[in-house]
Amino acid sequence: MRTPQAAKPPGRLLALTAFAAIVVLGPLLFGAVDRIIQVAILVLLAIGVCAQPPSVVAPSRWGNRLTIAFLGIVLFKEFAPAAWFGSTVWRTVLTRDYNVDLPWTHHPEPSRSLDILLAAVVGAIWFLWVRRLAAERENRPVIAWWIFGSAAIVAAVSFATRGMDPRAIYGLRYTPGWTGFGPFPNRNHSADFLAIGAVVGCGCVTWAGARKKWFLIFFGAGLLALVLVALLATQSRGGLVAFGIGLAVYFLLVIAKVRNQRVLGVAAGVALLIGGLAMTAGAPVLARFHSQTGEASNELRRGIWKDATTIWRDAPLLGHGLDTFQEIYPIYQTVELENQVVLHPESSWLLWLAELGALPAFLAIAGLALFLTKQIPIAFSRGRSFFLSAAGIAGFALILAHGFFDVPAHRWGTAGLALAALAMACPMRLGTRRLAEPRIAALVPGHRRFSSTLPSGLR
């Protein structure tokens, strides 16, 4: 007698529709850099959360301690009295030489800090929500293909509107410094978005091959070629290098899972195919690695890195405050620029060190490492969906690697896609098809009852 299947959550389709709308419309609408677009994304996220509320599993003892320590230190260093943190060069210059009356808090503009913290809360809700969606095994391919599909849609629209106006995105939005391709104001951000989509696309095509879904194999291969050509069209050296790193991580995970000569042969074949495509369609971006313009860009980047390192050393443990880099950089600047303003340190990692400080950054890295050490073995225990998980982990590794020599991690469009890829790769584990869990779980030691209600695992 067949066991009746549990009913699907009533809001599943609406939640997946909201997810698809967010990952497609956010990047298409100029990378979601405008406040009005961010508000629209929040409305879509609210609809998705109402349709399928996220759930939080109480972390382990060490995870709980790291979470509390990180949040406590960040709130303390942002809003505690400035006199508790000692003097810095920029504060001394502003107060002594320019008689600027700064607030009493460590952060010179507490409202800006609050804005970033609220954005971080939205990011956490987004990550937890996508993890909850991915808890349903049949949802994971849908999520992965929409991540991949969003990159393909962005690539297609970018090619369709290319050449309308070399100074305006889609021929509609004049953007200084825009290079004529991609929806983001910065080509490195467009390239990072496309690179994450391409790596996840490799996982989607491999998953389709493992399931012998021939239409999806050829359809996905065509989309992958489109995304890769678009990545090369951005002429972003950093994006191309980051894609290579993400692809290498994906191949290493796959080889570690499926250790046979066929997999090695497929990996080598794909690498050669992508290399050939890069040599054929990527001549402009490859030329930038050796051009005089590229060397000048590298020299400028190294100078900004040096200045950013000086800023970090002025407050090494707790940083200068969230979203302060652009305002305080001119006080430390040694790079000579004409009619230009440095907006960021050309490195997400240096930005985190300068604004957060080494101590919160270390706690965040430790928390991520603790999370991944538990999730990666679970991913390896899966069957054919392992390829989707491996691609999601590789996509997240890609943005972290790109962050060493660029700043892709502070955009909603790029950071949001990377978090979605990681959430898809590390779904919440539910041991039953019954999906009506409590909506909130405590993150403090005294409230662990929710975690005991979760059975050990759905893969």
> Is the pLDDT reported for residue 164 higher than 80?
no
Whole-angstrom CA distances from 436 to 132, 140, 253, 360, 431 are 11, 19, 33, 35, 12
447 within a domain of the structure (yes/no): yes
> Is the pLDDT reported for residue 194 higher than 80?
yes
pLDDT at 448: 37
pLDDT at 280: 63
387-397 pLDDT, tens digit per residue, is: 999 999 999 99
397-411 pLDDT, tens digit per residue, is: 999 999 998 999 888
197-256 pLDDT, tens digit per residue, is: 999 999 998 898 888 888 998 899 899 989 999 998 888 888 889 999 999 999 899 988
Domain count, the chain: 1
pTM over 0.75: yes
Residue 424 contacts residue 388 (beta carbons within 8 Å) = yes
> Is the pLDDT reported for residue 263 higher than 70?
no
pLDDT at 373: 93
Domain hosting 383: range is: 12-452
Of 164, 182, 180, the closest CA to residue 172 belongs to: 164
How high is the mean pLDDT of the chain?
84
pLDDT at 456: 34
- Among 173-182, 186-195, 288-297, 444-453, where is mean pLDDT lowest? 444-453
Of 257, 155, 145, 158, the closest CA to residue 207 belongs to: 145
3 within a domain of the structure (yes/no): no
pLDDT at 34: 86
Mean pLDDT of 103-126: 92
> Is the pLDDT reported for residue 153 higher than 70?
yes
Angle between helical axes of 110-134 and 12-28 (0-180°, round to 10): 130
User: What is the spatial distance between Cα 299 and Cα 438, in angstroms, rounded to a whole number?
Assistant: 54
> Is the pLDDT reported for residue 441 higher than 80?
no
Residue 187 contacts residue 179 (beta carbons within 8 Å) = yes
243 within a domain of the structure (yes/no): yes
Q: Could you tell me the two tokens for 260? A: 């046979």
458 within a domain of the structure (yes/no): no
180 within a domain of the structure (yes/no): yes
